[in-house]
A and B are shown apart, each in its own frame.
Chain A
Amino acid sequence: MPDRQAIEALIIESVQMLAEDFELEALKQPDSDSPLYGEGGALDSMALVNLIADIEEALAEKFERSVALADEKAMSAKNSPYRSIRSLTDAVIERMPA
């Protein structure tokens, strides 16, 4: 299983590329704590939908792991996994098959 650092790097890269595609200035140089979706976040719901798809496809391509980040659990979680890069990384690790 890829380590936390590798997963976070992949998510940061996905956020950067999405920021370029969607022209989101606030997310062109993201770090672990950059707010994504929700309070203070730069993503609207469509940008989030695209980011989740990008991350899922990148995980499949780089690590050959199929991870679904738009599951029931994520959507009903008290603390949304889509808040920041850190919380998204947690969500990926939690869902990644060994």
Chain B
Amino acid sequence: MSWIRNKLAAYRDRIACHEGGRTYSYADFLELIDQAAAKLPSGNRQVVEVQAPTTIEGLATLLAIAARGHIALPLPLELPAAEQAKMRQVAATSPLYDQLQGSGLILFSSGTSGEPKGMLHNFDALLQRYRNIRPRQDRNLLLLLIDHIGGLDSAFRCLFAGSTLVVPTARTPEAAGAAIATHQVNVLPASPTFLNLMLLNGVAASHDLSSVEIIAYGAEAMPQTVLTRLGEAFPNAQLQQKFGTSETGAIRIKSAANSSLFFRIQDSETQWKVVADELWLKTPSRILGYLNASNDSLEADGWYRTGDLVETDDQGYLRILGRASALINVGGQKVHPAEVEAVLNTVPGITASKVFAKPAPITGSAVACEIVVNKEQDLRAWKRAIRKHCRGQLAPWKIPSSIAVVDAFAVNRRMKHA
């Protein structure tokens, strides 16, 4: 793992990070790694919790753990104590640890049952993916915590390129806007939900965001309406779609066009195929397995069944339609929530929507939605507006039959809809 040290040392005089009013050079960052290494247990491999007061110290600790061959368990202090306790318990022991060669990394994803799902990465293999990254001099905003593959990918991609990480004081649209303006951030990686919140909060009006050149979005389906409005709010920015899963790490892709949701997988280390509309991926950085869940999605020959349903075109471009688990079956007809949400978001007065299944007579399920609105009218009027707007744009079984107006959607700590 000496390549990591060499790479970072080559950037010695550059700025690695702005966080909490402090500026850290790459020399400072190397020193933080040494300090973290000094505190690590000596001897055989063991699970080491990563709980640092700052993100940059957390990243330094992760790299120290990788060099020493331990297993890292990031537990950000922002997490509720009960959740931390649960994660600690899941990670305490696992037969998987014996299969590990080199260092490990434990990440959690929110399981469908609400129980956090722990997974074991070969940390060396994950880091190896950044070895040949070319130097850049960007200033990247970091919105996600480092217990998440998206946050880690942003951070490592930035640091191994010698760019500068900008950590906002809070993970709110307002703090993000302030950090962008103060540090002239030019790369903004964010989820569609967070970007939509920035637009709704008028951040573009209260802060100078003209430094942003690249908006890298991912993690969930991007509504076409948000994409269009982003183009208006950030006229200088190129919109880049990112894709990855907690199980495989980030996958390098290229969008068909600036405002297109279609992309091509351009990653020499990644194989992909589509089986019954579901995307399968094979990468050298796949997890070894789940600590507390079934390994059904992990094929013995290295493939990972993502659970993402995709559409393909004849030129090999892909588009994510949504999660297989979220698909609504209306009397045998399949409905993707994201497709309906995209149309709902174009109804005048609707600023956000969430579509889900509801039991119904005859068809088994029907399409229901919750909407966030910016004008007053009764439910009946909304229902009528939606039916009228959707007719002709969506097949009859895709048009929501149940509608509820809500104040706002909860956003979870991954910055996606809860």
Contact = CB atoms under 8 A, between A and B. Distances in A.
Are A and B genuine complex partners?
yes
Given A17-B380, A53-B401, A57-B402, A46 B363 contact: yes
Give me the 10 closest cross-chain CB pairs, A-B, nearest first. A53-B401, A53-B402, A50-B401, A70-B361, A45-B362, A49-B360, A49-B366, A46-B396, A21-B387, A49-B401
Instruction: Output the residue of B362, B366, B368, B402 with the most chain A CB within 10 A.
Output: B362
Interface of B: 330-331, 358-363, 366, 368, 379-380, 383-384, 387-388, 396-397, 399, 401-403
Interface core residue of B330, B388, B396, B401 (most chain A CB under 10 Å):
B401
30 contacts: A17-B380, A21-B383, A21-B387, A45-B331, A46-B363, A46-B396, A46-B397, A46-B401, A49-B360, A49-B361, A49-B363, A49-B366, A52-B360, A52-B361, A53-B358, A53-B360, A53-B366, A53-B401, A54-B383, A54-B401, A56-B402, A57-B379, A57-B383, A57-B402, A57-B403, A61-B379, A68-B359, A69-B361, A71-B359, A74-B361
A75 B397 contact: no
Contacts of A75: 361-362
A61 B403 CA distance: 12
Given A45-B331, A61-B379, A21 B361 contact: no
B149 to A, nearest CB: 39
B361 A48 contact: yes
Interface of A: 17, 21-22, 37, 45-46, 48-50, 52-54, 56-57, 61, 68-71, 74-75, 82
A34 to B, nearest CB: 18
Contacts of B403: 57
A50 B366 CA distance: 9
A63 to B, nearest CB: 15
Contacts of A74: 361
Contacts of A56: 402
Nearest to A61: B379
